[in-house]
A and B are shown apart, each in its own frame.
Chain A
Amino acid sequence: MIERYSFHERICHWTTAAAYLYCLATGLAFYTPHLFWLAVILGGGPTSRQWHPLLGVVFVAAVIWMHALWSKDVAIGPSDKEWLAKSEAYVTNDDAHVPPQERFNGGQKVFYWAMFWGALALFCSGALMWFPEYVPAGLRWIRPVAILVHECAALVTIGAFIVHIYMGVFVVPGSTEAMVGGRVTKRWAMTHHKLWYDRILRANK
């Protein structure tokens, strides 16, 4: 077994995940009346409304923390362009035709940047929605714009989130265990992140 995620990285990941899940559940409650019951089981509408922006700040702070840890690992490089060109082979599990990948593959990096920019858009629009009384009267049109940006950004992150959970829990066995326990088998590393595995081997020699 080799270490894939340090304890620090795992704490950061699960902080982000917990804050995101809370914002997702309460946000969906405000999004459509058919899901308002989510706010009810989470302590009621006013409680959910009060905590949603606070946990949103925790989420954005955790994303910035994550960025400090992973900014090098998530930079788009040549192996990612190859991966994106061959993404159809990856999606159809034709893994023999998927180019070897770094610590994160091209798809994971696309997910990361969708979440990163989504979080920033959610933060900026969310701040306007949190303190609307500071929006000058002449700029009132900004308020519906902020709401629209907030919902569109949320929908982008929800799309990315669905894929993320599906991949991590169902498609790539061993991923969830890696994010909890921190370790993966050599074979797992070789299969999914060959370039990263080779680099680790060289570093350990």
Chain B
Amino acid sequence: MSNGVLQIKAMSGHAGTVPGANTSRDYEVAKLIDVTTCIGCKACEVACLEWNGYPFRETQFDNTYQTMPDLAWNYYNLIRFDEHTTPEGTFQWLMRKDGCLHCAEPGCMMACPADGAIVQYANGIVDFNQENCIGCQYCVTGCPFNIPKFNAETKKVHKCTLCSDRVGAGLEPACVKACPTGCLHFGSKEDMLDLAEKRVDQLKEHTAHKNAGVYNPAGVGGTHVMYVLHDATNPEAYGGLPKDPKIPLLVRIWKGPLKWLGNFAMAGGVVAAFAHFMKFGPKKEHGGEEHADD
């Protein structure tokens, strides 16, 4: 949205760099999640709650280190833990920060019928405007990643905003600010892709992760939240990240050809009825005596 009009350049009496320094302010933004350096500390989960003003939910223990089984309407950001055995028999602990990927071609937006309930900013952020949301949950059906969550009490759907309010003021998202290992990066999409590729090269060169790669799926036009994975050939291992996500075919049929076919058929039906009336007119009564209308 903003190119960082309110980006801080200098600050009085402040030790160290100013907030948001060195984050690129190009038009299209992106968050890069380097899964290989995540330690699963959940600082991002807490920062997300704090910035968005949500109380901490009750955690749910399911024999993993995961806070709860799934995202929730007031829990945009969840580290998914997976105990994974590689084909070579090595044990791996996979931790992936799950949340909205801010697709370039968002399935939620395609499915949504409410005027202005979902907006896509020019900087790539896909944001839900709850005041326009009608609570139909079509967005949940349209999303290939199963991200939007419904609040049954307010009948509104919520998901990660990529901290559009912070980004609009020239700051990085809250999760990125809180990350202690630097596995979360934020900047222009171009810079983040560049950084991701450098990290992948590094992994391939210096570690055993020869299948390392960037997750920026083309099926949804690329995303504005990307991952560096140790094994990009098996994204499903990371808490079910889809290998080739696409907007469901039925959703595309529903919002594409069926819409036009239906509109044409309805308008055609009314026109045909009018044409029929012009040609044939009303039916006349017959039989019985002419004046038997008693």
Contact = CB atoms under 8 A, between A and B. Distances in A.
A and B, one complex?
yes
Interface in B267-294: 269-270, 273, 276-277, 280-288, 292-294
B243 interface: no
A50 interface: yes
A93 B248 contact: no
B259 interface: yes
Given A147-B138, A187-B285, A140 B273 contact: no
Nearest to B259: A32
Interface stretch (B6-14, B35-43, B128-136): B128-136
B273 A95 contact: no
Contacts of A158: 266, 269
Contacts of B140: 132, 143
B162 to A, nearest CB: 24
A190 B138 CA distance: 51
A156 to B, nearest CB: 10
A172 B283 CA distance: 6
Contacts, number: 130
Contacts of A132: 137, 140-141, 150
B293 A45 contact: no
Interface string B230-265: 000000000000000000101101100011001101
A32 B288 CA distance: 50
Nearest to A47: B134
A15 B248 CA distance: 38
A148 B253 contact: yes
B113 interface: yes
B277 A166 contact: yes
A148 B254 contact: yes
Interface in A113-139: 129, 132-133, 137
B114 interface: yes
A45 B156 CA distance: 12
**Chain B interface secondary structure, helix, strand, loop or mixed?**
loop
Interface residues of A, number: 49
A74 B198 CA distance: 73
Interface string A30-44: 111100100100000
A31 B259 contact: yes
B276 to A, nearest CB: 8
A31 B266 CA distance: 12
Nearest to B273: A166
Contacts of A152: 258
A86 interface: no
B58 interface: no
Nearest to A144: B250
B254 A185 contact: no
A186 B292 contact: yes
A11 B152 CA distance: 35
A190 B287 CA distance: 7
A31 B259 CA distance: 8
B115 interface: yes
B155 interface: yes
Given A31-B259, A45-B134, A93-B283, 20 more contacts: A29-B113, A46-B134, A46-B135, A50-B135, A133-B152, A140-B146, A145-B250, A147-B141, A147-B250, A148-B253, A159-B269, A163-B269, A163-B273, A166-B276, A166-B277, A170-B273, A171-B282, A173-B282, A187-B292, A191-B283
13 contacts: A29-B113, A32-B263, A33-B115, A93-B281, A95-B286, A96-B286, A144-B251, A148-B253, A158-B269, A170-B282, A171-B282, A188-B285, A190-B288
Closest 5 CB pairs of A and B: A144-B250, A45-B134, A49-B134, A166-B273, A162-B269
Interface of A: 1, 29-33, 36, 39, 45-46, 48-50, 91-93, 95-96, 129, 132-133, 137, 140-141, 143-145, 147-148, 151-152, 155, 158-159, 162-163, 166, 170-173, 185-188, 190-192, 194
Interface of B: 113-115, 117, 132-138, 140-141, 146, 150, 152, 155, 248, 250-251, 253-254, 258-259, 262-263, 265-266, 269-270, 273, 276-277, 280-288, 292-294
